[in-house]
Amino acid sequence: MGRITVRRAVTKLTVGADAVRRSDTLAVEEPLEIRVGGLSLAVTMRTPGHDVELAAGFLVSEGVISRGEQFRSAIHCGGPGTGGPIAGISVGAPADGNTYNVLDVTLAPGVRPPDPELARAFYTTSSCGLCGKASIDAVETVSAYDVAGDAITVDAAMLTGFPDALRAQQAVFDKTGGLHAAALFDAVTGDLLVLREDVGRHNAVDKVIGWAVLGDRLPLRGVVLQVSGRASFELVQKAVMAGIPILAAVSAPSSLAVELAASSGLTLIGFLRGQSMNIYTRDDRVLDDTTQALEAAGSHSGSARP
């Protein structure tokens, strides 16, 4: 749709030098109303693009669906006669009359529609995917998948390369400097499976999960979810709901994120930078040749590792 970035005039000011008027590239942020069967479920602020994936991933995160076969179709329907501004936010319609800011999802026959209690009380912002939850109980959704039982392991040296691989593929971030990214990597081969960018970190993760939904790849066993920022409670929840066993972040996790990861059996890694990382939960999934060599030497000599 060509609406991922926009150009705006800015004043570039450097202390002690003349101000310069120039053009700058910004990441687009617009509301997306997600409807299911014509009924409004949520409004999120997102970067346009991969909207169907975003909606599919969102429905997994909320426990509405858990398999690709349960998601039948989706259509943008934000044109004239659809109710006007979304959540009080006016957005201009292009020449074809469709704002592409309303997406209506059709679930497969027999799939129970979302509980009305899931509906957001107000639209979520790009920094907080949990704003407007009807109750805290709705956050602690039970996953359809046993993350703790996933026996996958990942090589520590390979893991340290994921942030750079993620950053190298952030095409829109290179232009704007204003987007989060999430990607799935194969934990065995290290191959990048999919990467998505968005102004909201939770949206980027939903788009990645939605990619898996549309490809009927759930549960996402044997993969690592790498994110460009911090690891919040909601990102851990989304990973658990999609059956992802390992979540790695370049920044810090929150205390609640660690608690949820521990109770769910998810491996949570933070501060993954350079050759180091902090493993907060399930460190048995991260294998390091040096560590294993030290442990082996200790067992042969009868001494314990310091």
Strand partners, 124: 44
Q: Which of 128, 134, 144, 287 is catalytic?
A: 128
128 included as an active-site residue: yes
What are φ and ψ of residue 157, in 5° steps?
Answer: -65, -40
Q: Point out the residues that are catalytic.
A: 128
